Structures are given as C-alpha cells and as structure tokens.
C-alpha cells in the first residue's frame, strides 16, 4: 500500500509539474492570425466609420496598411504625401514615429513624434482627417516639444479622453519616463489654463527604459500600458508590455502588488516567448469583439523582422488585463 501511495503521489506530482509547464507555455499566446504586409513598428489601428481597418506605423511619412477583416493587411501609402516643413527641425530625414489615432466628435486625430534615435530633441505633432484614410491628413503643427536640456522626451504620444470629457496627452521615453499634459478639446493642443507637467511612470535604474504609454479607461480605473526595456534590436530586443492602474487619469498608477509605476512598478502583460521576441510599441483598440492589444514584435523565425501582433484583451475578476 505504501508503494502504491508513493506511486500515486509521484504521478500527482508529475501531473502538477506538467500542468505548471503547460500553464507557463500558455501564459503568453502567440499573435492572432495576420497576413499580407505586416512588417511594422509602433502600430496604431482604428476601425473607420465604413467598417474597415487602418493601421499607421513608424517611418515612411507614417506608413498605412488597410484591412477589411483585421486579418489580411495591404500597404496603402502613408498618412502624408509630403512632410510638413517643421519636421526637418527635429529629424534630418523627415522621419515620423509612433502615431496614435483616434476618432473624436466625427473627425480623426493623429498625434505622432518627430525625433532622432536616442535624442530628446523631439516634438509631437497633430494631424486631422475627416476619413482617417491614407493621404487625407492635414498637419496642425507642433503640440509639445523638448530639447536636449529637458529631463524628459516628447515622443510616443497617446490621447486619453477621460470620464469627464477632459483631454490628456501622455508621452515619453527613457530620461524620466512617462509624462502627461492636458489638452484643449477645441484645438487638440495644450490647454493654456493648465500648464502642469504630470509624471506617471519611470524606472529607478538608468537608463530608465520605459516608453510608449497608452492609457485606456475600463470599469472604474484608468490603465497605463507601457513598453519596458530595449526596443528595435531585432532578436536582441528585450521589449515587454507592463500595466498599472489609477482611479484618476493623472495617477498615481500602481501595479497588481501596489507598487507605484513611479518606482519601477508594472504588472506584466506580454513579453518574449518562443519566436515572439520583444513585443511592445503597443496601442489598445476597442472593437466589436472586445479590446485589442496591437503591437509589434520581432519574429525569431524570420531573422528578427518586426511584425504586427494583435491579441484580444481579457479582464480578470480583479480587473487586471491579460491577452489571449
């Protein structure tokens, strides 16, 4: 009987171990099926009024890809046919980055950054469109900028409209991390009556590698998704997506354990697994079948080529997001 009991215990332990390994393997799903032209960095996606999808991404005057089914994507030009004159001040190659698209009061808005890699001599611009389609955008100029003497960086913008209808722009990369300003809904630019520069997230360890904020409202909280660690290094990338939440748009944001995102906190949402390397540069879209995490990753099966990733977001019983 003792031998049988030992066998039963051993079998149960083995099953527990296998279950743990399987659970770990399933902790992060692979990206959902996407095909066609899906080589992107820093994607933002919208479902237009006509029911189709447009993805905009870094480079090429803000590269555009369209889809009718959220699976097959086709390259469709760029947001801009030619660069606004002010871009060259911040980028000798007229190279815009990290767009953020949304639809507000019947028009489409796109915030984006112009900078040089590793520099905080940067600016965030705004463009508007009546359709959201490639080539339809009108530039509205600079919204916010930083210089090499600034302690933060004006890239990776994201618009939040809070529960009271107030507009906020979060942004930031390295230096002191994620910052936020309040915007005027009438212009989409900084609100003159509130010049506060809010601080949302940073790292306690140099080089303070947190960037690409995206804030969404769910239930009674605001959730700050951000990318941590090293981007843009192919299979050597260590990018990952973390999240914190707050009852107010300006923070404080804390992770599941209660650690502030101003102290390096952040609950993991997605990180390297298998051939999916360095996922990040994320945005969140609410679609007809739920919330989506839209991001890029480096494909270990394709020499580290950056590709579009899309996963549905679930919300657990405690209100924390996960991807599936």
* Tokens linked to 19: 């279950």
Cα–Cα distance measured from residue 282 to residue 225, given in angstroms and rounded to the nearest whole number = 8
Two tokens at 11? Answer: 């079998």
Catalytic amino acids?
42, 211
Kind and range of the H or E element at 16? helix 2-25
At residue 213, φ and ψ (nearest 5 deg) are: -70, 150
Instruction: Return the structure tokens found at 26.
Output: 């399933």
Backbone angles phi, psi at 9, to 5 degrees: -65, -40
Measured CA to CA in angstroms, residue 97 lies from 62, 85, 189, 264 at distances of 7, 16, 19, 25
157 conformational bin, left if phi > 0, alpha if psi -120 to 50, beta if neither? beta
Q: Which two tokens stand for residue 278?
A: 């360095």
Instruction: Give DSSP secondary structure letters for 69-134.
Output: SSSEEEEEEES-SS--TTHHHH-TT--EEEEEEEEETTEEEEEEEE--TT---EEEEEEEESS--T
Q: Which residues contact 202 (CB under 8 A, 6 or more apart)?
A: 176, 177, 178, 208, 210, 261, 262, 264
235 backbone dihedrals φ, ψ, rounded to 5°: -70, -10
CA-derived radius of gyration, the chain: 21
Within a 10 A sphere around the Cβ of 148, how many other Cβ atoms? 8
Q: Are 300 and 277 in contact (CB under 8 A)?
A: yes
């Amino acid at each position: 009987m003792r031998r049988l009991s030992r066998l039963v215990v051993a079998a149960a332990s083995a099953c527990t171990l296998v279950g743990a390994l399987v659970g770990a393997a399933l902790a992060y799903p692979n990206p959902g099926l996407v095909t066609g032209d899906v080589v992107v960095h820093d994607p933002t996606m919208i479902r237009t009024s006509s029911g189709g999808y447009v993805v905009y991404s870094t480079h090429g005057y803000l590269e555009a890809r369209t889809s009718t089914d959220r699976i097959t994507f086709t390259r469709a030009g760029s947001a801009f046919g030619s660069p606004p004159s002010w871009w060259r001040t911040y980028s000798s190659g007229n190279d815009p980055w990290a767009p953020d698209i949304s639809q507000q009061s019947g028009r489409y808005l796109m915030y984006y950054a112009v900078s040089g890699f590793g520099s905080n001599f940067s600016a965030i611009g705004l463009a508007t469109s009546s359709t959201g389609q490639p080539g339809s955008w009108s530039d509205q100029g600079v919204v916010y900028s930083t210089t090499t003497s600034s302690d933060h960086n004006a890239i990776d913008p994201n618009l939040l409209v809070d529960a009271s209808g107030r507009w906020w722009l979060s942004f930031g990369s390295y230096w002191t991390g994620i910052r936020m300003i309040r915007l005027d809904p009438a212009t989409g630019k900084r609100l003159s009556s509130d010049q506060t520069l809010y601080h949302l997230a940073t790292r306690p360890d140099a080089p303070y590698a947190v960037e690409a904020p995206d804030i969404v409202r769910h239930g009674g909280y605001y959730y700050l998704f951000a990318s941590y660690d090293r981007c843009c290094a192919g299979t050597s990338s260590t990018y990952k997506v973390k999240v914190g939440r707050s009852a107010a748009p300006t923070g404080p944001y804390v992770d599941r354990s209660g650690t502030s995102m101003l102290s390096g906190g952040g609950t993991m949402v997605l990180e390297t697994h298998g051939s999916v390397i360095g996922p990040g540069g994320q945005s969140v879209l609410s679609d007809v079948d739920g919330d989506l995490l839209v991001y890029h990753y480096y494909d270990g099966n394709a020499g580290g080529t950056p590709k579009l990733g899309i996963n549905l977001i679930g919300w657990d019983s405690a209100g924390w997001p996960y991807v599936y």
